[in-house]
Chains A and B, each alone.
Chain A
Amino acid sequence: MAETLDKDLEAKALRKRFGSHTAVDALSFSVKRGSFFSILGPSGCGKTTLLRMIAGFIEPDSGDLDIGGRSMRGVPPNRRPVNMVFQQLALFPMMSVGENVGYGLARRGVPRAERDRKAEAMLERVGLPGSSRKRVDELSGGQRQRVAIARSLVLEPTLLLLDEPLGALDLKLRERMKIELKQLQAAFGTTFVYITHDQSEALVLSDQVAVMNNGRFEQVGTPQQLYYSPETPFVAGFVGANNRIDGRVSAIHGDCVEVTTAEGWTVRAQRHGAVAAGDAATAFVRPEVAVLGRSLDELALPAEAPVHQGIVESLLFDGANSAVLLRESRTHAEFRVALPQTGRFADLKVDETVIFSFAPERAVCFADAARHG
């Protein structure tokens, strides 16, 4: 009992089909009370369908959904202890900010005076004191976002669902709202279920992230687990930047395997799951795992470390996220390496020949069959 009390949301073999397309495929998961849970996936992976099932706008074909320990089968959206922040926010333009925030309270029959007081108090908590008389279109994008959240949180829902609410904002504001959202969630302690296709949003905001693909969860874990120990090739490719090297397993040394591409480039990586010699396999190497140098002495690598040679194809300067795109000298395979912050490679030129290396234990390799299993 104590275990179920600790969960605000529990899905049991939830399934939804649209015609021949399975949008959500026998999904079971639970979300801990008070946590920030993100569902991350590309468009069309079923995350919106899942969110709308939780909100009650779509009825699942089979399976069950418990919110706050209560089954939600047959409970319409207006009776669920769940509120949603819509993608386009869906603030009511015909009402003032205060009326928007008080809307749900009015539907519960809360008298006007108390409603106004609560709405004003909630607006103050989200940093918009004294704006209840304003019209919705007088607010900036970020302020509207806060009104949308206030409108839901004033009802003290068990769960707050957020449907890519940052998608419509410009980049600078999005970065700021990310931080604000995280602080709001921490301040209110409400369980947030957040869907997004933006991996950076999911990583920055969440306690737990579920990576969704083709109606299933590929992996559920903390942002760190997803980033550092992806369990499937999809997660490795989707979360964070990664160099993807497709080839066949040419040698196995314990947990370390050698993958050779069709063009004949061999890299070493840590295997994940069963891998046999001769298997088609994919290795993933993060750009920041590789080190770049102009000479072997400069790199000061351990003796047995593999060293690769590449030609600079293009420089991708982006401040702290700067990287360089290389072509491996012999096979012309593309490889991305993050540039160190020291400015040591500020004078790097296109077509310059460099060497690069990465520790095999920090790269990961999956047998290709794993992609379908």
Chain B
Amino acid sequence: MAETRTRASHYLLLWLLLAPAVLWLFGLIVLPHVDLALLSFRERTGPGEYALGLEQYRTFFAEPLYWDVFVRTALISLIATALTLLLAFPIAWTIAKLTRGRLSALLFAVCLIPFWVSETVRTLGWMILLRETGVLPGLLVSLGLTEAPIEMLYHDATILVGLVYTSLLFMVVPLYGSLESLDDSLIEAAYDLGGNGWTVLRTVVIPHALPGITAGCIVVFMLTLGNYLTASLLGGKNSLWFTEQIYTQFITRFNWEQGAAFGFLLLALSSAMVWLGLRLSGQKFSDVMSRT
């Protein structure tokens, strides 16, 4: 009797502790998504009259612009993820393996500092640097490298720079975790058995760090795919970013049905990419998530 009561109170406590998270998850994520799903399957048949249908999804596939923007967003996000990985790996390696104690804490802090500033301000910082009358074009002119200042904003490369910059920390942290746990003697043993820098990286370091690499890539890919601010500020009005299309449908056109359908397509895309990434790297979702 007493035991069942303690068990019951145990469950009650568990639910109480979970309640904020469950409410948050349900109220702000599940409910809106259900509503959006219903919206996306709605067709307008007349003023104020709606029917269930696949019209919104049909529009997406029928209109090449939407499809192109979709693919383009996915590709740029993939490139941004790859670049972030290439850039973050040496940083994480330096923090995890080449430095100790205070220095590695300091390096971590240096990676973190940009995040004390809001994303908008950070992105505006890039604009100050890169716009036609900005710092960098001016510098190039004064160095005599270009005759007239160049507009550096509103290129795909600019979007990439911004995305990589915003995502770097989210790649460094899981990479650091997985590299930190790599026993130095494994690296030494690989050298001792005749390995060189490249083979040791390929056969020992990367296989060990793979869960961290996958985790970082998933997080960064999702962040860039769903990024709105960086793409629209650095890429301009015509950056052709998919989240911008969603924004336009919802806010400019008041076509919530179309926007909802786009939202779900983006969700499907990111889920498919994560699944593919896990399959390709041979990782389990739960293993990878415990690394992030």
A residues with a Cβ closer than 8 A to B are 55, 57, 76-78, 82-84, 86-88, 90-95, 103-104, 107-108, 151-152, 155
Contacts and interface: CB of A to CB of B under 8 A. Distances in A.
Name which of B188, B189, B194, B207 has the most chain A CB atoms within 10 A of its CB: B189
Nearest to B199: A107
Given A107-B195, A108-B194, A92 B188 contact: no
A151 B193 contact: yes
B208 interface: yes
A152 B193 contact: yes
B127 to A, nearest CB: 45
Contact of B185 (A82, A88, A94, A107): A88
A55 B192 contact: yes
Interface of B: 183, 185-186, 188-196, 199, 203-204, 207-208
B194 A107 contact: yes
Contacts of A90: 183, 185-186, 188-189
A155 B192 CA distance: 11
Contacts of B185: 86-88, 90
A114 B148 CA distance: 64
Contacts of B186: 90, 92
Contact of B193 (A57, A87, A94, A104): A104
Contact of A94 (B189, B196, B199, B204): B204
Contacts of B207: 94
12 contacts: A78-B195, A86-B185, A90-B185, A92-B186, A92-B190, A94-B204, A103-B203, A107-B193, A107-B199, A151-B193, A152-B193, A155-B194
Given A103-B203, A107-B199, A78 B183 contact: no
Nearest to B207: A94
Contacts, number: 56
Contact of A86 (B189, B196, B199, B208): B189
Contacts of A57: 188
Determine which residue in B194, B203, B204, B208 has the highest number of CB atoms from chain A within 10 A of its CB, and name it.
B194
A107 B197 CA distance: 12
B208 A77 contact: no
Nearest to B204: A92
A72 to B, nearest CB: 14
Given A92-B204, A104-B193, 15 more contacts: A78-B191, A78-B195, A78-B196, A83-B193, A84-B188, A86-B188, A88-B183, A88-B185, A92-B189, A92-B203, A94-B207, A94-B208, A107-B199, A151-B193, A152-B193
A78 B189 CA distance: 9
A103 B200 CA distance: 11
Contact of B192 (A83, A93, A94, A108): A83
B184 to A, nearest CB: 9
Contacts of B196: 78, 107
Contacts of B208: 93-94
Given A90-B183, A90-B186, A155 B204 contact: no
Contacts of B192: 55, 77-78, 82-84
Contacts of A82: 192
A78 B186 CA distance: 14
A103 B188 contact: no
Query: Which 8 A-B residue pairs are closest in the complex by CB-CB distance?
Result: A107-B194, A104-B193, A90-B189, A94-B207, A90-B185, A86-B185, A78-B194, A84-B192
B243 to A, nearest CB: 38
A358 B1 CA distance: 74
A103 B190 contact: yes
A55 B190 CA distance: 12
B188 A155 contact: no
B206 to A, nearest CB: 9
Nearest to B184: A90
A304 to B, nearest CB: 59
B212 to A, nearest CB: 13
A98 to B, nearest CB: 14
A191 to B, nearest CB: 16
A95 B207 CA distance: 9
A83 B193 CA distance: 7
Nearest to B195: A107
Contacts of A95: 203
Contacts of A104: 193-194
B213 to A, nearest CB: 13
A107 B191 CA distance: 10
A232 to B, nearest CB: 33
B179 to A, nearest CB: 14
A103 B183 contact: no
A87 B192 CA distance: 14
